[in-house]
Amino acid sequence: MSFWLSKTLNEMTQDEWEQLCDGCGKCCLNKLIDDETDKLYYTNVACKLLSDKDCSCIHYSQRFDFVPQCTAVTPQNIANLDWLPDSCAYRRLYLGRPLPSWHPLLTGSKKQMHKKGMSVKGRTVNETRVRDLEDYIVIWPLQDMD
Ligand code: SF4
Ligand code: SF4
């Protein structure tokens, strides 16, 4: 049952791959990169399709019709997606780390993830309501646990 322990990322089925996503919503936050230092900054400004109530994409299966620049995380591109948060399950497994203790695959629901502040639930501003991203820089999306 614990396919993430017995399979490499490349060996997983599409369904298993999708199950790895904890649904934290951090990847759906707008980010800024400093031109001079290349440093990455997270903001709490979410993509227009992200629901702040449950961190889900409201048009996930058709998301590229609405947001062409949305990135599909795959076994082929995970090595290049270093802007994903350290807590991201794909990033963790790619780097040889285990799933975190709060991951829905281990706990059976998203409750622990939300409780421990590892998701964006209730913490975002929709990008349609924001003018200057620099006013919304936050550090909490960088938080990681165990
Ligand atoms: S950061 Fe990673 S685990 Fe979290 S929602 Fe995005 S792809 Fe899924
Ligand atoms: S289109 Fe959906 S999955 Fe893509 S960034 Fe926006 S909310 Fe996230």
- Residue 29 neighbours by CB under 8 Å, 6+ apart: 42, 43, 44, 45, 46, 47, 120, 124, 141
| Atom in ligand 2 nearest the alpha carbon of residue 66 | 1
pLDDT the model gives residue 1? 72
pLDDT the model gives residue 146? 84
Nearest ligand to the C-alpha of residue 121? Answer: 1
pLDDT the model gives residue 33? 97
Does any ligand 1 atom lie closer than 6 A to the CB of residue 90?
A: yes
Does any ligand 1 atom lie closer than 6 A to the CB of residue 24?
A: yes
**Segment-wise mean pLDDT, segments of 10 residues, the chain, 146 residues:** 95 98 98 97 98 96 98 98 98 98 98 97 98 98 93
Q: Residue 3: CA atoms inside 13 Å, Cβ hemisphere, count? A: 13
Residue 70 CA, distance from chain mean position: 12
CA of 27 to the centre of ligand 2 (A): 8
Could you tell me if 125 and 136 are in contact, meaning their C-beta atoms sit under 8 angstroms apart?
yes
Three-class SS state of 44: strand
pLDDT the model gives residue 75? 98
For the entire predicted model, the pTM comes to 0.96
| Atom in ligand 2 nearest the alpha carbon of residue 59 | 2
